[in-house]
Amino acid sequence: MSSDEIVRKPLRVRDRSSRTLDQRLALRFPRLTAAYIRLIFRLPPRSRFRQAAVRRGSQLSMEAFNRRDLDAVLIGTAPDVEHHPPREWVEVGFVEPCYRGRAGYREYVSSWSDVWGDDLRLEAVEVIDLGDRLMLLGDMPTSGMASGVPITNKFATVSELKEGVTIRVRVYFDQSKALEAVGLPENDRPGSENPEPRA
């Protein structure tokens, strides 16, 4: 994909949130939601409608994670979705290398809470639409339960999509490695300003 087909948008999450009407409808009618997602992702990344949907979906998902509303986090994911935690956490034995399915994701988040407590929250900075993948760049300010020392980590997630539905998520603590993994070396990243999108 050429750099002019990549869309980058700033992203913010609210400190306090609750489940929205569209999230409640998505959970009540999953087949309708899947059809809607497929339609959105048939649009090119520069479509204003797709940009708005990607931005809102990413924001709502992050806010759902921060309040531990895991059903809402998993909207738009395949039933057998794979979650691959940061390599650093796998190497020290905090987590498994891969968690499969929605039950696996819940186990993954539970293992985070065992290490970091319930204060772990994600602060999104940017969403990047690469067509068949979505990338989130953000901050993860937290403190370890044992030490209580505050830590601010950068993180990135790369979600692989099939017809708009997330089938695989990889988490990185090194944003430059995540950018390289999707073919965007840090010194060659497109600027955050994009030309006016097409409708």
H or E stretch covering 177: helix 175-181
- Domain holding 112, by residue range, is 3-183
Amino acid, single-letter form, for residue 106: R
Q: How far apart are CA 25 and CA 14, in angstroms?
A: 21
Q: What is the CATH number of the domain that holds 153?
A: 3.10.450.50
Residue 194 lies in a domain: no
Residue 199 lies in a domain: no
Residue 188 lies in a domain: no
Q: How far apart are CA 111 and CA 115, in angstroms?
A: 7
Which stretches of the chain drop beneath a pLDDT of 70? 1-4, 114-118, 142-152, 185-199
Residue 164 lies in a domain: yes
Report pLDDT for 92.
Answer: 87
Report pLDDT for 4.
Answer: 58
16: DSSP letter: S
User: Residue 131 contacts by C-beta under 8 Å, 6 or more apart in sequence?
Assistant: 1, 5, 6, 45
> Based on the structure, what is the number of domains in the chain?
1
Burial class of residue 77 in the structure, from the number of CB atoms within 10 Å of its CB (0-12 exposed, 13-18 middle, 19+ buried):
buried
Residue 195 lies in a domain: no
Residue 53 lies in a domain: yes
Amino acid, single-letter form, for residue 159: S
Residue 129 lies in a domain: yes
Six token digits for residue 66: 């921060």
Report pLDDT for 117.
Answer: 66
| pTM over the 0.75 mark | yes
**Bridge partners (DSSP) listed for residue 158:** 135, 170
Q: How far apart are CA 98 and CA 82, in angstroms?
A: 7
Residue 37 lies in a domain: yes
Report pLDDT for 198.
Answer: 44
For residue 56, how many other CB atoms are within 10 A of its CB?
Answer: 13
H or E stretch covering 165: strand 165-172
Q: How far apart are CA 103 and CA 65, in angstroms?
A: 15
Residue-averaged pLDDT of the chain: 86
∠ CA 13-186-63, nearest 5°, is: 10
